[in-house]
Structure 1
Amino acid sequence: MPIEFTHVPGKPANGSFFYDFAETATKLSLIEDAGFRKLVIDDPAGLLANMDIAAQTLDRTPALEVVLTHWAGVVEPAVAARQLAALDLRGGGRLSLRMLSEPLQDSDAEARPAGHSVVWQRIDEYLVLLKRLWSNDEPFDHEGAFYSVKGGYVPRKGLHGGDLTIRLGGQSDTALKVAGRHADIFELAAGSPDEVAQLMQRVRGAAAEHGRAGRLRFALPVRIRPEGWSGASDHKTVEVAGPPARLALSLLPYAALGIEEFMIGGIDRSSEIARIGRETVTPIANSLARCDADTLAPGTFASRSFTGAHLR
């Protein structure tokens, strides 16, 4: 089973992972060499900074895919569609869009709709418009509950067109309805394997209503805290600690559920990135790729051992 690893930069109190792009460029090279395939861009400076960082990252890395964090309501759909299509072209098709339900910083309280269901209705309309703008051959008009578009058209489509990968998350029925309609990758909430499996089942059910259950892939946030490394625990993420074999034991039950991507946080220093790539990411990815379906069947872990020898 192929497994992808995505690097999720932290948000240190003293600045951004991207504050010095000369230093960041070195880290990006390390991230690629360590076996990570994707990088999440979710900078505290907000959406416009995210787009600038995404452009710089795509320019400085030959293969690393960029997961751009975005929020409906911050930029008008027609403007966002043009900017995102340009980024997708710039990166040769290495861009995906990660939609969050609310901006982390929003000084304009009136711009934020009240109520959880309304937030997700706005996201739904926003994504419908983005996809239409990325794929239409002629300008169109749209008058909806949240957006008005006159002569909407993006002349320079991205390489993905209307099929740009969309990432969503959430746990409420309202969020899952939107995810079922739009998500190509669903970012799961952390929990025990049983809890994660239940959420996956709910998401697949929501996607099945749109004939999309077979298109879904799942990503799980993981915080790695190897023994001897300092770092605060984040109770919102699955946290695994220890040497590579123990990390593998912690992740294997989740891989058995059909999760194809681990979003790794907690490793921002160059030495950490290099070490976790050498001792954890690459060995685990190689080991999981060699495992057959029987090895990864749920419920088999109690009777099977997974030692460091499997990681060589």
Structure 2
Amino acid sequence: MPIEFTHVPGKTHPADLTVPFFNDFAETATKKKLSLIEDVGFQKIIVDDPGGLLTNMDIAARALDRTSSLEVVLTHWAGVIEPATAARQLAALDAKSGGRLSLRMLSEPLNDDDAEARAVGHTLIWQRIDEYLVLLKRLWSNDRPFDHEGAFYSVRGGYVPRKGPHSAEMAIRMGGQSGTALRVAGRHADVFELAPGSLDEIRQLMERVRSAAAEHGRAHKLRFALPVRIRSEDNAAVSGQKAVEIAGPPAQVALSLLPYGTLGIEEFMIVGIDRPREIAMAGRETIALLRNTLARREADVPQPGAFASRVIQEARAG
């Protein structure tokens, strides 16, 4: 079972929560952290800066310049810039990335003065995301200009002349738990970011997402990612994204993640390790141990599904 690990940056200095992980690309410290993340076994890094979408795009471009194999996951919102503008900018980043760019779509509130949004805000937000993604994909793949008149966007002569070589296949990441969110994710998501919960709750959410994707013939295309916060004495007081929380030495953390891996989760989004020492330990101990243990246990249990059942039973018993 291939397992991937994604670094989710937090705050570099817990004592100063205003200092972001991507503090200054001119600083040696930022360059070293990116190189370390790439070298110790992480495949991806999330870009989600408080500065917003345009800041994220700038950070993503710089991160791509300073890495060679790391996939850069750009956090994005519909409604910030027009689809045609976003499609051109993302295509340029894709050309720079060599296929190492993916798009992480988050929901966001609409304007407070939008009366319709106040009445049906959640549904409206996801409908706009749906239309936005449809337009991005069309702009990345069309070979001639087109017009579009939708509920949220009007496009005249929409066309991206310099398409990125991988834009049309750019991986889309989404999340959510409501029926509305899952319907949109089922249509567009290549990677689904799960919400924290018990093993049974996560398994049930995975089944709901697969069912939504199956309506579009996409159930087999989905990969699942789980946010995991590795908690230590140094970062226990630092709050951040919601995630399954695990504490302990690297071997214990790896053991705690095994049952989630056997559910079919193929990516762990690691939160809470931002210092070089923590990054190195997670990569060289936790990541390596988890991969080796999964490979060894799967080799020992030939019957399909038996390994997953056994590990989950062991976790519940523990």
Provide closer, same or farther for how the CA distance between residues 232 and 258 of structure 1 changes in structure 2, counting only shifts above 3 A.
Answer: same
Q: How many residue pairs align between the two structures?
A: 301
1:2 corresponds in structure 2 to 2
Equivalent of 2:310 in 300, 306, 311: 300
- Equivalent residues of 1:2, 1:288 under 8 A apart: no
Equivalent of 1:273 in 259, 279, 300: 279
Structure 2 Cα separation of the partners of residues 48 and 195 of structure 1: 35
1:68 corresponds in structure 2 to 74
1:1-312 → structure 2 map (5 Å cutoff): 1-11=1-11, 13-21=17-25, 22=27, 23-102=29-108, 109-110=112-113, 113-114=117-118, 115-226=121-232, 228-232=233-237, 236-292=242-298, 294=301, 297-301=307-311
Q: Deviations over 1:97-122 (max 9, x none)?
A: 0000017xx8x644794410000000
Q: CA deviation at 1:232?
A: 2.3
Identity of aligned residues (%): 68
More off after superposition, 168-177 vs 7-16: 7-16
- Equivalent residues of 1:6, 1:261 under 8 A apart: yes
List, as ranges, runs of 4+ consecutive aligned residues in structure 1 with deviation greater than 4 Å: 302-305
Q: TM-score, normalised by structure 1?
A: 0.91
Secondary structure of the corresponding residue to residue 6 of structure 1: strand
Structure 2 Cα separation of the partners of residues 239 and 303 of structure 1: 20
- Equivalent residues of 2:251, 2:289 under 8 A apart: no
Structure 2 Cα separation of the partners of residues 123 and 303 of structure 1: 39
Q: CA deviation at 1:275?
A: 1.6
Unaligned 5+ segments in structure 1 are: 306-312
- Equivalent residues of 2:258, 2:290 under 8 A apart: no
1:308 corresponds in structure 2 to none
Structure 1 Cα separation of the partners of residues 313 and 57 of structure 2: 48
Counterpart of 2:224, as a letter, is: F
Q: Deviations over 1:236-293 (max 9, x none)?
A: 3101111222112211111111000000000011111112212212222233234427
RMSD: 2.1
Q: CA deviation at 1:302?
A: 6.5
Q: CA deviation at 1:37?
A: 0.5
Structure 1 Cα separation of the partners of residues 153 and 281 of structure 2: 47
Counterpart of 1:127, as a letter, is: L
Q: TM-score, normalised by structure 2?
A: 0.89
- Equivalent residues of 1:66, 1:95 under 8 A apart: yes
